Amino acid sequence: MSGVLSEQSARNTETGSKQRKTPAGTGASQSVVPVTSVHRIKADGVRIFYRSAGDAAAPVLLLLHGFPTSSFMFRDLIPRLADQYRVIAPDLPGFGFTEVPEVRKYAYSFDSLANTIEAFTDALDLNRYAIYVFDYGAPTGFRLAMRHPERVTAIISQNGNAYEEGLGDAWGPIRKYWSQPSAENREVIRQNILTLEGTRWQYTHGVASPDSVAPESYTLDAALLERPWNKEIQLDLFLDYASNIKLYPKFQEYFRQSKPPLLAIWGRNDPFFIPAGAGAYRKDLPNAQVQFLDTGHFAIETHGVEIAAAMKAFLGANGVPGRPEKVASR
């Protein structure tokens, strides 16, 4: 099993790549399955937990998760990409296993999340990367892209919104909280969203076969929400999400000016970020590729194979080809 590595050893362990051979079969060669390792590194006064796999010399894919999950959501996607890319997936502050010291007095806002991820990329010397953004990962990643457009080789948006027409009716209670940030409205969000049932619903709504969603996904998320003060962190971020909508015109200006290759791959049954948000990218990026999947918000849970294949084809066609897949002789 992979262990958690110290800050001092994290960078050293990524100078090469770890791989496993698949069990011997009848063919002349075996595919090589990259091993995902986990690390921690200090950046912006935060001890950031992240998952990494792939050849350190390969093109970089930076995967940014959303609410209420962590880099764990990429557990199956990472090895499907790491045969050709160096894949890095951090846990945002307030999520997963990233640790924010109390003395840091961290202000949980999307500006702060972007600041921390920017410091994280600097700590790992990531100067060029494609970004995969989902949910909260979108406003975090787009802030990063606006600051460093020269670093971003491509964008994959999986239900990561940047347009008002992409906001579905499920935002109703949160919009009310924005307009009236009272203790009562804060409690409505706490009781209806920050629960095991609320988390399970986000994973299974719009999925043809809800039992196909691995229960450890939403169960882990719900367990981590129960940590002391974590629900207050999430409620602060819900309130600050309104700042992202104010930045939508700036995000769109970045798209028009920098023209990053973009793939919007979308669970069409997402109640939060509806299909119109995917199609809207073409207003500012006429060459954006848009693909819909018959699933919900967490499309990666049911369509990881399709998403990985679409990403490789898209990146290869847009100047970010991966390294040739390795095979091991018998």
Q: Is the pLDDT score of 5 beyond 50?
A: no
Q: Exposure pattern of 156-180 as b/e (b: 16+ CB <10 Å)?
A: bbbbbbbbeebbbebbeebeebbee
Q: Is the pLDDT score of 122 beyond 80?
A: yes
What mean pLDDT is reported for the chain?
Answer: 92
Give φ, ψ of 323 to 5 degrees: -70, 150
DSSP character for 103? G
What pLDDT is stored for residue 21 in this prediction?
54
Neighbouring-strand partners of residue 39: 5, 50
Rounded CA gap, 16 and 279, in Å? 39
Q: Is the pLDDT score of 20 beyond 70?
A: no
Model confidence band, residue 33 (pLDDT cutoffs 50, 70, 90): confident
Q: For residue 2, give the 3-state DSSP assignment.
A: coil
Rounded CA gap, 241 and 24, in Å? 50
Rounded CA gap, 256 and 102, in Å? 40
Task: Give tens-digit pLDDT for 186-223.
Answer: 999 999 999 999 999 999 999 999 999 999 999 999 99
> What average pLDDT does range 261-280 have in this prediction?
98
CATH numbers and ranges of domains, the chain: 28-168+243-329 (3.40.50.1820)
Task: Give tens-digit pLDDT for 53-92.
Answer: 999 999 999 999 999 999 999 999 999 999 999 999 999 9
Catalytic residue ranges: 297
Q: Quick check: 139 and 247 in contact, CB under 8 A?
A: yes
> Dihedral (C-alpha) 325, 64, 193, 183: value to the nearest 10 degrees?
170
Burial of 225 (0-12, 13-18, 19+ CB in 10 A): buried
Q: Is the pLDDT score of 320 beyond 80?
A: yes
